[in-house]
Amino acid sequence: MKYKLLGNTGVKVSQLCFGTMSFGDSADVATSTAMFNRCREVGINFFDCANVYAGGRSEEILGDLIADCRDEVVITSKVFFRTGDDINAGGGSRRHIQRAVEDSLRRLKTDYIDIYFLHSFDVNTPIIETLRVLDDLVKAGKILYPAASNYAAWQVAKALGISAKEGLARFACIQPMYNLAKRQAEVEILPMAQSENIGVIPYSPLGGGLLTGKYGTQRRPDAGRLMENSMYQTRYGPAIYYEVAERFTNFARERDLNPVSLAVAWAGTHPAVTAPIIGARNLDQLAGSLQAIDIDMTPELRAEISALSPEPPPATDRLEEK
Ligand SMILES: NC(=O)c1ccc[n+]([C@@H]2O[C@H](COP(=O)([O-])OP(=O)(O)OC[C@H]3O[C@@H](n4cnc5c(N)ncnc54)[C@H](OP(=O)(O)O)[C@@H]3O)[C@@H](O)[C@H]2O)c1
């Protein structure tokens, strides 16, 4: 396992981050524990979580697992999505974040969260309010670094400008969606992160299962997230994604490579990326993603794989100047 500096912080994180969205959901406590231990064995020190995963259960399970190694792991959590029926139980307000961070700390059984993500941009809360409460939480030692997930590049850039002007803790990391089927981040988000030296931990390197080899233009598994979860069915609805999956799976098989490992390695080797967040529901699934670190992803191999999916048009629309 290699370790990298997270953006312009002095924190070293493993080249793979393990996502705990399955904890308490598709993975019970025993399976979650086995996956966590396997990640630790291979040297992963970086674990992604969120307050809404399994209704808070994921944080509780992760909290139990880190109890005897808290100082050796870098953990994240997130705030924004609704945690209850109350009208204010969500968003980026001081009122909600202050409540939510205390709830997360209690479930995680820790007194600090290393990286605290805004899970989505809040159009209703002035960004200065959100940045101020995050800065206060940094000063109080409850979070170490503020971060943003699912933000457009301009939203991050706007926040960075305000943080600099007001002397507030800046976003240290972003968490965009990024995989061979979903490459929008290449247009503005990843170049922005490189320019600003922000850590990047992209999620869904397998497209939620799309790129694992079990999906194709005519092929579907009996069960799986894209078969069962309507949010993911919408996200990966267009036929083009299944065409990419088909081409990619064939490409991997022709070279005797596991598509799971290859897809994670592809996402992890964009020059802006610090560590892709891998996801699994059991140890068997996890094995393929862990083997990504053994793939020799040369620039030529990466370019060949990239050519299997449509490249998103440039932000300026001046195709002739590419
Ligand atoms: N910030 C955000 O908004 C956001 C959103 C999503 C995820 N995340 C984070 O990123 C992490 C990873 O995201 P993700 O779960 O979407 O990642 P992913 O790697 O794209 O998808 C993981 C899923 O693919 C399938 N899979 C994995 N390995 C497999 C294998 N060897 N063979 C067959 N199927 C396999 C499993 O789903 P099935 O068995 O159901 O097919 C598994 O749950 C999450 O845990 C979470 O921490 C963040």
| Contact predicate 73/39, CB 8 Å | no
3-state secondary structure of 12: strand
Q: Distance between CA atoms of 311 and 298, rounded to whole angstroms?
A: 19
Distance 91 CA to ligand 1 centre (A): 24
293 and 14 in contact (C-beta within 8 Å)? no
- Return the best residue to mutate from 23, 203, 227 for the ligand 1 pocket (most ligand atoms within 8 A of CB): 203
pLDDT tens-place string over residues 292-301:
999 999 999 9
pLDDT digits (tens, 9 = 90+) for 1-33: 999 999 999 999 999 999 999 999 999 999 999
Answer yes or no: is 153 within a domain: yes
Domain containing 73 — which CATH number?
Answer: 3.20.20.100
Domain assignment present for 144:
yes
pLDDT at 57: 98
Which residue owns the Cα nearest ligand 1 atom 14? 204
What is the 8-class DSSP label of residue 293?
G
Share of the chain above pLDDT 90, in %: 99
145 has catalytic annotation: no
Q: Catalytic one among 53, 145, 203, 232? A: 53
- For residue 49, being part of any structural domain is answered with yes
Number of CB atoms found within 10 A of residue 247's CB? 17
281 lines ligand 1 (CB under 6 A): yes
Place 85 in a pLDDT band, splitting at 50, 70 and 90. very high
Test site for ligand 1: of 16, 17, 21, 31, most ligand atoms within 8 A of the Cβ: 21
Q: Assess whether pLDDT exceeds 90 at residue 139.
A: yes
Overall domain count for the chain: 1
pTM: 0.98
Provide the token pair at 237: 């609805």
Residue 66 CA, chain-centre distance (Å), reads 19
- Tell me the CA distances in angstroms from 36 to 10, 24, 206, 209, one per residue in order: 24, 13, 19, 20
Identify the residue whose C-alpha is closest to ligand 1 atom 10.
203
Q: What does the pLDDT read at residue 321?
A: 83
Question: Does residue 154 lie in a domain region?
Answer: yes
- 103 torsion bin: left (phi>0), alpha (psi -120 to 50), beta (else): alpha
| Inter-CA distances, 76 with 113, 122, 283, Å | 6, 19, 22
- For residue 219, is it within any domain? no
* 60 inside domain: yes
pLDDT tens, residue by residue, 183-197: 999 999 999 999 999
Long-range contacts, 183-189 (Cβ 8 Å, 24+) = 183/309, 183/310, 183/311, 183/312, 184/312, 186/270, 186/311, 186/312, 187/312, 187/313, 187/314, 187/315, 188/152, 188/153, 188/154, 188/315, 189/151, 189/152, 189/153, 189/156
Q: Which residues pair with 14 in a beta bridge?
A: 3
Please check whether residue 168 is in contact with residue 138, taking contact to mean a CB–CB distance below 8 angstroms. no
Q: How many CB atoms lie within 10 A of CB 3?
A: 14
Secondary structure (H, E, C), 72-131:
HCEEEEEECCCCCCCCCCCCCCHHHHHHHHHHHHHHHCCCCEEEEEECCCCCCCCHHHHH
Nearest CA to ligand 1 atom 42: 280
Q: Give domain status of residue 123, yes or no.
A: yes
Q: CA dist 22 to 130, 292, 314, Å?
A: 28, 20, 35
Strands 199-200 and 277-278: unpaired
**How far is Cα 108 from Cα 123, in angstroms, rounded to an integer?**
28
Nearest to 136 by CA among 174, 95, 175, 89: 95
**Whose C-alpha lies nearest to ligand 1, atom 29?**
285
Summary mean pLDDT of the chain? 98
The verdict on the CB of residue 209 being under 6 Å from ligand 1 is yes
- The predicted-structure confidence for 171-227, as pLDDT tens digits, reads as follows 999 999 999 999 999 999 999 999 999 999 999 999 999 999 999 999 999 999 999
> CA nearest 129: which of 98, 87, 89, 88?
98
* Residues 267-294: tens digit of each pLDDT: 999 999 999 999 999 999 999 999 999 9
Per the structure, the complete domain to which residue 119 belongs is given by: 3-175
At residue 84, the pLDDT reads 95
Classify residue 118: in a domain, yes or no: yes
